[in-house]
Structure formats: C-alpha cells, structure tokens
Structure 1
Amino acid sequence: MSSKKKTNSIIALMPFVVFIGVYLGSGIYLQSKGVEMAFYQFPAPVAVFVGVISAFILLRGSIEEKFETFIEGCGNSDIIIMCIIYLLAGAFAAVSKAMGGVDSTVNLGLTYIPAQYIMAGLFIISGFISLATGTSVGAIAALGPIAVGVATKAGLSMPLTMASVLGGAMFGDNLSIISDTTIASTRTQGCEMRDKFRVNVYLSIPPAIITVILLLVFGKPTTITTLQACDFNIIKVLPYLFVLVLALMGANVFAVLTGGIFLSAGIGLFYGDLTVMSLAKNIFLGFTSMTDIFLLSMLTGGLAELVTKAGGLECLLNGIQKMVKGRRSAELGIAALVSLTDAAVANNTVAIIINGSIAKELCYKFKVDPRKSAAILSTYSCIIQGFIPYGAQMLVLTSFAKGAVSPMQIIPLVWFQELLLVSAIIATFVPFADGFLRKHPWNWEKGQVEAKSEVA
C-alpha cells in the first residue's frame, strides 16, 4: 500500500514537471535559435495550462472531480486576493506614469545629485523608481537610456553604470510593497506586506549602503561636467510616497492602492496630463499589463490544488525533509528551491508562485516564521534574477548599449546583488533580521500574527 501510494505521489508531481519543462524547454530552444528575449516568448500562462491538461490526463479520478478540485484551487481566497492586488498595482503604476510621475522622479534626482556622485545617484534613483512603481524592468526601461547618456558624457565606466542601475532596480523590486514579487511571496505565505518589508529592510539596507559607498569611491567620473537641470514637478512624486507610507503604516492594501490611483488621477487631470477618457484607458492598460501574472497565479493555484490532493506535495516534502534537519536548513532549502527555479524559468514571480506552497509547508513543519519565509522567497529570487544573463532585466538594460556591453561584463559589478546574497546567508545563521519577528511572534495555531492588525 505504501509503495503504491508513493508511486502515485511521484506521478502527481509530473504536471509541475511538464509546466516547468515546457517553459524552460521553449526558452532554451529559442535561445539556441538566437531569438531575442527567448525565455519570455512562450507565455507562462500557456505553459501552466499545458501542465493543467497533463494533470487531467495523469491523475486519478473522474473529470468532474478533477475539475472541481481545479476550480477550488483557482478560487482560493489567497489566489483571488493576490490577483486583485495585481490589477490595482498595475493600474496605479500606469496612471502614475501617464501623469508624469516617473519622469519627474528621474529628473528630480538628476537635478539635485552632484555630477561627481552621479554613479551612486543612479543606484538610488533606480532603487526609488522600482520601490515606488513595483517593477524593476520598468525602472530600468525609464532610467537605462538616461544612464547610458550620462555615462558617455561624464566618462563613466559603462558596465559599472549599468550594474548600478540594475542593482538599484532589484533593490527596489525586492522591497516594494506593490511589486509582484512581494504580492506573491506574502500571499503564498499568509503574511502582511509591511511585515515582510520590515524583515527585508534588515537584509537589504546594509548591502545598499555599502554599495553606495563603493560607487562613490570607484564610480567617479573622469570628467566632471555639470548635468543640465531637468524639468520636474515634486507634486507628481507624491502618489508614490503616499502609497509607500500608508502601506507601511498598515493601511488596507486595497484602500492604499485605490487611493494612490485617485491621487495620481487627480494630479494628472489638474495639470492636463490626463483627460477623463485617457485616465480610463490608462487604468485599463494597467489592468491588462497584469494579465499574464493574473492568469499564471490563478492557473497555478488550480494546478497546485490538483497536485496536492493527489499526494504530489506530500511526496516532494518527504524528499526535502530528508535533507532538512531544522529551522536553518529549512530556510536554506527554501532559498535553494526558489533560486534554482528562478534560474530555470528566468522569472522571479513565477519562481515564487511555484514554490510558495512548498515553502509554507516547510514553515509549519520546521517553525520558520512565514514572514521570514516571504522575505527569503523574494530576496533570493531577486538575487538570481539580477545575475542571470537571460533575465528580462539584463536583456532590457544591455539593449540600450547597442551591443557595446555584454551581460558578462556587468554581472561581476552588480555589487548590491553579491552583498545581498552574503547578507541573506549570514541572516540564516546570525538572525540579525529577526528582531521584529521576536518582538511580534507568529501565532502558529491561528496562522497569523498575535498582534491583531487589519488584514492587508
């Protein structure tokens, strides 16, 4: 009986293998053909849909039973909450950008940062844009062309300039309250965004400070030139600060993002950057920009439920537990899982969603605080995403140099990523990031923080 059960459990894992195999295999094939952005050509929701079809074929039970299980997973409250947050975050980012928020933020930084400190300034500006908008790719797309121009004018090292922009973007993406990595990691682990942020701060701020110092020392321009003052409107930066501050205060995330949309809309309408019609179109554009991750989350939720009920998750956990001996090794196990998955699929959010349920089970078996687990999922996936030469961030960034700089020249200079990796590993053995967690212990019986707060 046990042998039969074990066999069935292993078969239950095959749909996940099919999903990852299709996604990874298509990327490798297209990469070999020289296709640009090869790992992003085959839509992830289609890949997971192939996995769902394989689950219906391979797993036992009637079609009706499997369909009910699939719908139950798709309609899981955490999945639905995650998807709605995606939509609101997308709308906020689109409206804020349309009314000039991103341009004002970049120009504000370039205007007031002295030319001799511009390398460190690019890291800080990139970090703030990514933190405010929740997208590292968006931050790179906004700042990348400007950074290339500044580097050429000031005689800066082009690889180091690009590395500073990339490091800042990943710093902000990891910390951002509205990034898809934060949304996915907190919802899969069942914790609040602000709590994950507080843990991440301890992991990320020391590496960021050291990176800024290194950039101030080694990133000095060969020719000191006065950068031209750029037009900006400080009012247009306020929506980002509004969302960040209220989210950290523990306000309901739906109220925060909706308020941010209204504030950005009001500013855009007042200054004439938006009309009622263009506002509506940008809100919808923000919604549709999240279509891929929305569908991926929903379909993966259904697939995970099918795999779990068939015994696949239990089989995988039994295998992992043979290598995990306690809390520390469980944390390292979660880190290894999400890192390997991200290296395979080249998408940190996909890596988090795939490993979210496994990480949560490990948390409750080995007493890893879910807030720490959420930080681990987000941090390690962002670390790997910033290192892989075929990741969207690296590909978009190097495209601005028109072939003059390769990813291999940039990767050794992404000091923030390297320092963040060291910080994350040390935090497993020297729990300097756990002070907040010890002060507000996790209620293991109820699965929530004992200090009652409004659920985000």
Structure 2
Amino acid sequence: MNRIENRGANGLALLPLLIFIGLMVGTGIILTIAGVEKPFHQIPPSAALFLAVISAFVIYKAPMEKKVGSFISGCTNENIAIMVLTVLLAGAFATVAGVMGGVDSFVNLCLTFMPTSILIAGFFVICSLMSLATGSSSGTVAALAPIAFSIGQVADLNMAMLFAAVLGGAFFGDNLSIISDTTIVVTRGQGVEMRDKFRINLWIALPAVVVTIALLLVFGGQATSAPIEIGEYNLIKVIPYFVVLLFAVLGMNVFAVLTSGIVLSGIIGLFTSDLTFLTFNQAVFEGFEGMIEIVVLALFIGGLSQMMKDAGGIQFIIEKVTKKINSRQSAELGIAGMVALADAAIANNTAALIATNDIAKEITHKHRVDPRRTAALMDIFSSVAQGLLPYGNQILLLVGIAGGIVSPIEIIPYMWYVMLLGLFAVISIYIPFADHTIKKTPWVWEENSRIDDTETSVFSINDTSLGDLSNPETAVTIQTKED
C-alpha cells in the first residue's frame, strides 16, 4: 500500500499532534479550574488520540489510499509490535503473580527490611542500575513497575512520584548504557567511540542523579502518617520476581523474561494450590485484557507519527531549528532542540536520533562542535524529551501496568531526573564541566573520525528497529533485540 508522498517541510503536518496535546492538557486544566475530581482522567487518552488521527486524515492533502497506507505502516512498525507484545506479557505476569499471592509476599518482604522513607529513592536507584545493565528502559519498566505499584499501594506512597522515580531510573540506563540502542545509533552516526561518549554523558548525568536522590529522600520520605501493617511473606512466592530481575539484568530477551515470570508464577500457584489450571489461564487473559487501552494507544501513536513524518512534519522541525544556528553554542543548543522536537513528533527516542543523525553531523562539522559532545547531547535530549512525553511508550507502559491509577499528566511534574539531566546538559554547553575527555584528547578534524571499527562492528538494538527512518548513505546493519 502506498504512503503519503513527502514534498518537503510542512508545519501543518504537526497540527494533529498539537490537537492531541491540547485536548489532554487543555481539558485537564479547564476541569481543574472548574473543580472536577480527577480532571486529567475525564478524557480517555485513546479517545483524544483518535480525534487527532481523524484530524490528520482531514488535514493531509493526499489520496485516501496513501493516507491509510502511511497510517498502517506506522501501526505495523516493528517497534510498535514490540511494545504491544511487551505490555500484554507484562500485564499477564502482574496478574498471575498477584493471583497466586506473589505480590503480597514481595511487598511484605520489602517493607520488612526497607523503611518506607527511602522506598521511592530506593526504586530510583534499583531502576537506574537495572537499566544501566540492560540498556532497556521499557524492559526495566516492565520488570519493576508491577513491584513498585504493589509496594506503593500498601505503603501509601505518592504514586505519581513513585512512578516518576521508576521512569527516571529507566531513562538513566537508556541514556548511558553502552548496550542501549540510543548509544549505538548516535556513536555510529557521529563517528565516535562509545567510551568517549559515555564519559562525557556520565559527568552530565551524575549531578542529576545526586540531586534527584536527595529530592526523593526529602519529599518521598513523607509517605504516610499512619503505621503500616506488615503481613507475612512466603519466600517461595517471591521467586518469580527475583527470577525476572535476574534474567533482565543478565540481558535476556524481555519476552523471554516476562514469559518465564508468567510460567514460574503459574507453577508456584499450582504447587501452593492458589491456582488451578483454569484459574491460571483466566488470570493470563485478565492480564491481557487490562492492557487493551495501552495497545490501542500504541497503534494510534505509531500510525499518527508515521503520517506526520511522511507529510513533512519532521523535516519542518529540522529546517526551522537549523536556521537559527550561527555559533558553536547555538549549534549545540540547536542540535539538542532538534532532537527533542523530533522525539516529540515521533514519540520514540531511537527513531528521533536516526532521523536527525545526518543533519546533526553536518552542523557538528560546520561549527566545529566536538562530535563526542554531539553524541552525548543527542542521546541526552532524546531521553529528556521521551521522559516528558505524556504519550511516550515507557510512560504508557507504566500507566497500563498500574491500571490507570494515575495519569501521565500527573506523573510528569515529578520527572525530576530527566528535567535535571536536561538542565545540567544545557549548563555544560556554557560551562564545560563535562569536557575532561575532550580537553585531554582534542578532536582531530583533519581525520574526521578516530573510531576503531573493530570495536563497534556488531551491535544490538534494544528499543526499536531502524525502519524507514534510516538514511541509506549512513545505514548500518544492526541485530534487533526487543526492549
């Protein structure tokens, strides 16, 4: 099926996205002023997104067959399929583990040995370490969100802050890990070594981590004024959680990780008589059923993003940003802004990096920006933008696992880590506190690249496939691993 023919930059192509954001945020603000309870829950995100999709079909000038082709192409993108399967399996694991008593046992075990005052900060640290080891933000959320959700309810934690801590930790590793797909894409695209990008990136991320932990300890420690009744726990029933965590840290495929958790929970449930063969299957279905809205959102976002790209929305962003660049500092800010805006339109940080890699490289060489800084800034701001999107894959996955107890709009104000990461990255543009590697080994422009191809010839993608966003001139062969 044919797709919309891109005839160049088109700012109107971004209007459906603005409609969606306006419906979600604008309606929530109006209802808040009106005193309506849970104002940001009154319009289902899938309904608002459906209206945005309809507007795209009305606004874009192309035959209906081509518009449908673009939409279907986005819905069937490999990244969307991976997300759909991930949320379904995550829902099934959370439900089966809960029915067989694993959730209660794990929650009581954690509360027995960990004070509630450090639970939120503790989850941020755990998620950061796990995502750093796996390079997968979605995998980290899928594995740890069910646990955080259960503990947060029993401990009467601020759920929006807790979920933000989980997401912040997930983006820490997504941004920094050398096996993260975003790291692989930007280092290859800019022709730099992974270790150099990591060193620059780490100096920017560490202050954000320290401040975030301090904030979570101060504000997250005010969990509850009433004493918590801690029940008994059964170590056998918490085995699935430890197995899921272990397999995820070891880098096992996320589908295999979650499936292992489902099967192991079922076996333990049968052994302890908490489940029968019939109730096990019913629990799996209930887990799938609870994720239907997130599946719909994923499909609509994938289709709408592809339509906006094909209609020239991404090209419009790139052209507008690059016109304002006239110095090294403005070049770095321009690259950061271009990546962030592209991510806001595509709703996938890896895809946004692929779409902007070539133009960022041109800006880098024209204004003599060290390519290692370019790679670090691109990766950082793709994570910052993705972490603040109310329709990003990771936050939708988290909200789905939590059963919609809080909305993305309520979580975003607590996304302190990604906000601080962006702040320290901007500061580093004017105060080069992260440029130790650059000062020690200045870039040799005559050579253009000092990368050792033998170190980076084989890669593993964690979040998405390259799809049709890759440029044939700079494409690399990448082995895909689901996030």
After TM superposition, the score normalised by the length of structure 1 is 0.65
CA contact (8 A) 1:251 1:454 kept: no
Q: CA deviation at 1:354?
A: 7.2
Q: Residues of 1 paired with 2:298 and 2:183: CA distance? A: 14
Three-state SS of the structure 1 residue aligned to 2:57 is: helix
Does residue 1:297 correspond to 2:298, yes or no? yes
- Within 5 Å, which residues of 2 pair with 1:25-424? 25-113=26-114, 118-121=116-119, 123-124=121-122, 134=142, 142-144=150-152, 146-148=154-156, 162=158, 167-176=161-170, 230-323=231-324, 326=331, 329-331=334-336, 333-335=338-340, 353=347, 357-366=351-360, 376-378=381-383, 382=387
- Residue type of the partner of 1:85? T
Instruction: Please name the residue that 1:401 is paired with.
Output: none
The count of aligned residue pairs is 391
Distance 2:273 2:437 in 1: 47
Alpha carbons of 1:396 and 1:84: their partners in 2 closer, same or farther (altered >3 Å)? Answer: closer
CA distance in 2, matches of 1:40, 1:240: 31
1:19 to 1:317, Cα distance in 2 relative to 1, 3 A: same
Q: In 2, are the aligned partners of 1:73 and 1:302 still within 8 Å (CA)?
A: yes
Structure 1 residue 446 corresponds to structure 2 residue 475: yes
Distance change (3 Å), C-alpha of 1:264 and 1:377: farther
Contact 1:110 1:230 in 2 (8 A): no
Write the distance in 2 (CA, Å) between the matches of 1:354 and 1:180.
12
Cα deviation, 1:191-249, whole Å, max 9, x if unaligned, reads 7xxx9xx999998777666766788899999xxx9987641123333323322332333
Deviation at 1:262? 1.0
Paired amino acid for 1:353: A
Amino acid at match of 1:173: L
Corresponding residue of 1:400 = none
How high is the TM-score relative to the length of structure 2?
A: 0.62
SS at match of 1:445: coil
Q: Distance in 2 between matches of 1:180 and 1:45?
A: 26
Corresponding letter in the other structure for 1:40? H
Distance apart, 1:53 and its partner CA: 1.4
The Cα shift of 1:84 comes to 1.6
Moved more, 375-384 or 56-65: 375-384
Structure 2: distance between partners of 1:101 and 1:66: 47
Runs of 5+ unmatched residues, structure 2: 1-6, 131-139, 186-193, 362-370, 391-397, 439-450, 460-472
Distance 2:63 2:90 in 1: 39
* AA aligned opposite 2:121: F
Q: Distance in 2 between matches of 1:180 and 1:138?
A: 20
Q: For the residues of structure 2 that align with 1:302 and 1:214, how far apart are their CA atoms?
A: 38
Structure-2 separation of matches of 1:280 and 1:203 = 47
Task: Confirm or deny: 8 A CA contact 1:91 1:285 kept in the other structure.
Answer: yes
Contact persistence 1:189–1:360 (CA under 8 A):
no
Is the 2:318–2:338 Cα contact (8 Å) retained in structure 1? no
Aligned equivalents of 2:46, 2:66: Cα separation in 1? 23
Q: Single out whichever of 119-128 and 104-113 deviates more from structure 2.
A: 119-128
Contact 2:335 2:378 (8 Å CA) reproduced: no
| Residues 111-153 of structure 1, C-alpha deviations (whole Å, 9 max, x = no match) | 224xxx55225632687599876488866653445435xxxxx
Structure 1 residue 377, shift from structure 2 partner: 4.3
- Structure having the larger proportion of residues in helix: 1
Deviation of 1:34 (Å): 2.0
Moved more, 44-53 or 138-147: 138-147
Query: Which shows bigger deviation, 357-366 or 57-66?
Result: 357-366
Secondary structure, in 3 states, of the residue corresponding to 1:251? coil
